[in-house]
Amino acid sequence: MEEKISIKTLLPSEMEALLLSLGEPKYRAKQVFHWLHQGITDFSDMSDLPKALRQKLDDACFITRPRILRKQVSQRDGTVKYLFGLADGNSIETVVMRYEHGNSVCVSTQAGCKMGCVFCASFDPKKSRNLTSAEILDEVMFAQSDSGLHISNIVLMGTGEPLDNYDNVMRFLQLVSHPEGMNIGMRHISLSTCGLVPMIGRLMEEKLQLTLSVSLHAPNDALRSQLMPVNRRYPLDELIPACKTYFEQTGRRISFEYAMIGGVNDTPECARQLIRLLRGFPCHVNLIPLNHVEGSPLIPSTRDNLRNFQNELLKNGLNATVRRSLGGDIAASCGQLRRQYDQEVAQ
């Protein structure tokens, strides 16, 4: 038997082709697309389609639907964190964050990450796999429907390296921004990468209006290679020029993420090196107080170090902000809830 199609991965033109192949008129595609993007998980609920068509679709396709394995709600700021179970038994984390300007969802793009940044809880090369576009879309759809919080912004900053799952992520972006789907525009989407240089070049060619964030975390190669193994493959003298070209070609300012780690990358010398590295480049530096990961020797910078570092950047003309930390009372930084769950289940 042929494998069933994951129908939520289909773009409208592909949905039309599917319906034609089933001997149905093209216009049905719009109805099906609409139902799927409303969050329907059963073909029998597509009430304006003939029964015979619903059956044909059911025979040829399946609809993904994550299970909620865990849900945590922050008492402090209303952040909601989900651990979703996938059809193959793997699991992923999704977080809904509430801001004055609207609600944001932070989605994972891979189950377990292969990149191995030392400060991050998501590293899990054994259980790593790419998420399909439907699975990423489900994170947005089901986080919205379960939490009851209308989602207006998306950040691809959960577990996984989005540019390491390039095709599925591009497809997800097309699906989620589609006017007949969730209709979340590219200007409301941020994509974060650890710095896969060739893929930044490829993304540039797409000329998308999204915001590209680049995880920098260190101002020199020695330190960056220690913190982020990816730097050994794509060092700063390749990464920074790629970022500059990206900005020149797209007109979209890049946001550099810099997790502040006490005594490691938060010294006055590091600030000076960072200023030298980025001087004259129109960009944004987002300082993130390190989220402490259980068992890790790395600790967050003190409040004073954070402020001094930021002030030094500001004094030298770099646009630097400190990211507000949400969900501190729940395991809100990526990877932590999945880890906890896996440990409990293993016991």
Nearer to ligand SAH, 157 or 204 (CB): 157
Nearer to ligand SAH, 192 or 211 (CB): 192
Verify whether residue 93 is a known catalytic residue.
Answer: yes
The correct pick among 46, 161, 171, 274 for binding ligand SAH (CB under 6 A) is: 161
CA-based end-to-end distance of the chain: 39
Torsion angle defined by CA atoms of residues 148, 153, 159 and 162, in that order, rounded to the nearest 10 degrees: 140
Nearer to ligand SAH, 115 or 313 (CB): 115
290 binds ligand SAH (CB under 6 A): yes
The correct pick among 32, 136, 143, 157 for binding ligand SAH (CB under 6 A) is: 157
Rounded CA-CA distance 163/170 in Å is 9
Nearer to ligand SAH, 142 or 256 (CB): 256
Please tell me which residue in 16, 24, 61, 93 is annotated as part of the active site: 93
Piece in contact with ligand SAH (CB under 6 A), picked from 243-251, 286-294, 302-310, 314-322 = 286-294
265 binds ligand SAH (CB under 6 A): no
Rounded CA-CA distance 233/219 in Å is 16
Burial 90-125 (b: 16+ CB within 10 A, else e): bbbbbbbbeeeeebbbbbbbbbbbbbebbbbbbbbe
CB 170 to ligand SAH: min, Å: 16
Nearer to ligand SAH, 29 or 293 (CB): 293
CB 100 to ligand SAH: min, Å: 22
How many degrees, rounded to 5, is the angle at CA 87 between CA 210 and CA 13?
Answer: 50
The correct pick among 291, 301, 305, 310 for binding ligand SAH (CB under 6 A) is: 291
Per the CB < 8 A criterion, the answer to whether 217 and 224 are in contact is yes
Per the CB < 8 A criterion, the answer to whether 78 and 332 are in contact is no
Rounded CA-CA distance 110/114 in Å is 9
The correct pick among 173, 293, 320, 331 for binding ligand SAH (CB under 6 A) is: 293
Within residues 38-57, the interface with ligand SAH by CB under 6 A covers none
Piece in contact with ligand SAH (CB under 6 A), picked from 65-73, 84-92, 187-195, 236-244 = 187-195
The correct pick among 53, 120, 199, 313 for binding ligand SAH (CB under 6 A) is: 120
Q: For 224-292, give the DSSP string.
A: HHHH-THHHHS-HHHHHHHHHHHHHHH-PPEEEEEEEBTTTT-SHHHHHHHHHHHTT--EEEEEEEPPP
CB 287 to ligand SAH: min, Å: 10
326 binds ligand SAH (CB under 6 A): no
Number of residues engaging ligand SAH in binding (CB under 6 A): 17
Q: From the CB of residue 334, how many other CB atoms can be counted at a distance below 10 Å?
A: 24
The correct pick among 90, 133, 177, 193 for binding ligand SAH (CB under 6 A) is: 193
305 binds ligand SAH (CB under 6 A): no
Nearer to ligand SAH, 33 or 119 (CB): 119
How many degrees, rounded to 5, is the angle at CA 288 between CA 333 and CA 337?
Answer: 5
| CA neighbor of 285 nearest in space, from 249, 311, 263, 305 | 311
CB 335 to ligand SAH: min, Å: 7
Provide the binding-site residues for ligand SAH, judged by CB under 6 A: 117, 119-120, 157, 161, 192-194, 215, 257, 259, 288, 290-291, 293, 333-334
Catalytic site positions? 93, 334
